[in-house]
């Protein structure tokens, strides 16, 4: 009897030890803001409770299993939601519930391989190296830079990441599976030594079917850097999108609304040039964040974009400016005030309103867990 009890005890101990090497962690953000937008529709200004402010509300699960020998199994599932209505985020592509859904292996010696729907290498480079705001990466309700990252995520992706001291590299590829804007290939490289960080990346995406301009490509290039020391953070970057002639759906997709439902780099002119006419667009972004006290962070960012149209070869310009003041109640909860301005030049207008200028402001509350 004593022997049986001893064996059972050892089995229980070994089972507990095995389970202790695995972890499943739930995380999330809940963020809502009262937002005012001038010239938001043909009737004028718009007032709303936005379903996100600085961050998009989300709920996610991280999975990590230590398999020994420096090898881990990892996985992630992440859903985005509209906090004001409790529904799936309005920005979700048709049929998409999980904004991220991937599984992978991480090795201390050979790097990380992940498979599934996940952030692309341009988004990773921007967010980790020269993001517009140090403590929030970007403003969810006003993010011109994300209009340049070729959709932020790609389906059916295989991504490889390696870290060698201060150098990090990433490669991605996704083969066409007869779905929209599905093919992709690219890579990024960055250097970070604590105070300085800089890097560059290149990504191509290609239409997979006739409905998505089969064989037509959009090419994204990104270069930038940042300096961080004590309370000071400064960033500078350049981004370019190049569209193949006739890349109809692709051009429309990558011009989609990142500025509160409006066109990011408005592709409409007085001559009624359609969405499908993009040839290229270039953006320069710079700004910084200053930690005034342990609780108060102030930041500002300026964006300048030039957009070239196929039919005429004419260039259209637009300027974007944002400001944020953030107050941290704790490590997880903060309140913020944000204001921004969009100024369209050379005949471009907002698609749905015909206006050339817009001002926005919001006051919000965010909790991270």
Any domain includes 288: yes
Range of the structural domain that residue 242 is part of: 21-368
Any domain includes 8: no
Any domain includes 324: yes
Any domain includes 337: yes
Residue 133: name the closest of 261, 33, 233 by CA.
233
CA distance readout (Å), 228 to 147, 199, 233: 25, 15, 4
Any domain includes 11: no
What's the gap between Cα 161 and its chain centre?
18
CB atoms within 10 A of CB 226: 23
pLDDT at 14: 42
Domain count for the chain: 1
Q: Which residue has the tokens 């408005």?
A: 266
What 3-state class would DSSP assign to 90?
Answer: coil
Q: Which residue has the tokens 């509209």?
A: 82
What 3-state class would DSSP assign to 347?
Answer: coil
pLDDT at 281: 83
Any domain includes 1: no
Any domain includes 2: no
Task: Report residues of the chain scoring pLDDT below 50.
Answer: 1-20, 255-276
The model's pTM is: 0.87
pLDDT at 67: 94
CB atoms within 10 A of CB 108: 10
Residue 101: name the closest of 85, 89, 87, 118 by CA.
118
**Domain CATH for 340:** 2.40.160.10
Any domain includes 320: yes
151/294 Cα distance (integer angstroms): 35
136/125 Cα distance (integer angstroms): 15
By the 8 A CB rule, do 28 and 49 touch?
no
Instruction: Please list the residues that pair with 338 across neighbouring strands.
Output: 324, 362
């Amino acid at each position: 009897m004593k022997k049986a009890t001893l064996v059972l005890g050892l089995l229980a101990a070994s089972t507990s030890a095995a389970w202790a090497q695995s972890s499943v962690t739930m995380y999330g953000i809940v963020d809502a803001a009262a937002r005012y937008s001038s010239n938001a529709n043909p009737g004028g200004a718009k007032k709303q409770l936005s379903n996100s402010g600085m961050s998009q509300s989300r709920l996610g699960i991280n999975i990590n299993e230590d398999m020994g020998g420096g090898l881990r199994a990892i996985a992630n599932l992440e859903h985005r939601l509209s906090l004001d209505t409790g529904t799936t985020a309005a920005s979700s592509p048709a049929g998409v519930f999980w904004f991220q859904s991937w599984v992978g292996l991480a090795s201390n010696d050979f790097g990380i391989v992940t498979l599934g729907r996940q952030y692309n290498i341009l988004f990773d480079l921007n967010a980790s190296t020269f993001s517009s705001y140090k403590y929030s990466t970007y403003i969810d309700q006003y993010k011109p830079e994300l209009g340049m990252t070729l959709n932020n995520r790609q389906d059916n992706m295989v991504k490889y990441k390696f870290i060698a001291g201060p150098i990090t590299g990433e490669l991605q590829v996704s083969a066409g599976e007869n779905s929209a804007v599905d093919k992709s290939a690219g890579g990024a490289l960055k250097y970070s030594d604590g105070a300085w960080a800089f890097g560059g990346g290149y990504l191509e995406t290609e239409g997979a079917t006739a409905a998505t301009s089969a064989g037509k490509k959009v090419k994204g290039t990104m270069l930038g850097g940042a300096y961080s020391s004590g309370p000071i953070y400064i960033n500078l970057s350049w981004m370019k999108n190049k569209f193949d002639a006739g890349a109809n759906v692709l051009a429309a997709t990558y011009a989609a609304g990142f500025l509160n439902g409006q066109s990011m780099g408005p592709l409409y002119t007085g001559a009624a040039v359609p969405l499908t006419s993009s040839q290229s667009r270039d953006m320069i972004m710079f700004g910084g964040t200053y930690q005034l006290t342990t609780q108060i962070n102030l930041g500002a960012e300026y964006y300048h974009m030039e957009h070239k149209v196929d039919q005429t070869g004419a260039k259209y310009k637009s300027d974007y400016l944002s400001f944020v003041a953030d107050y941290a109640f704790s490590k997880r909860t903060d309140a913020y005030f944000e204001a921004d301005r969009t100024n369209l030049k050379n005949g471009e207008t907002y698609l749905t309103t015909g206006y050339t200028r817009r001002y926005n402001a919001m006051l919000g509350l965010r909790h991270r867990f």
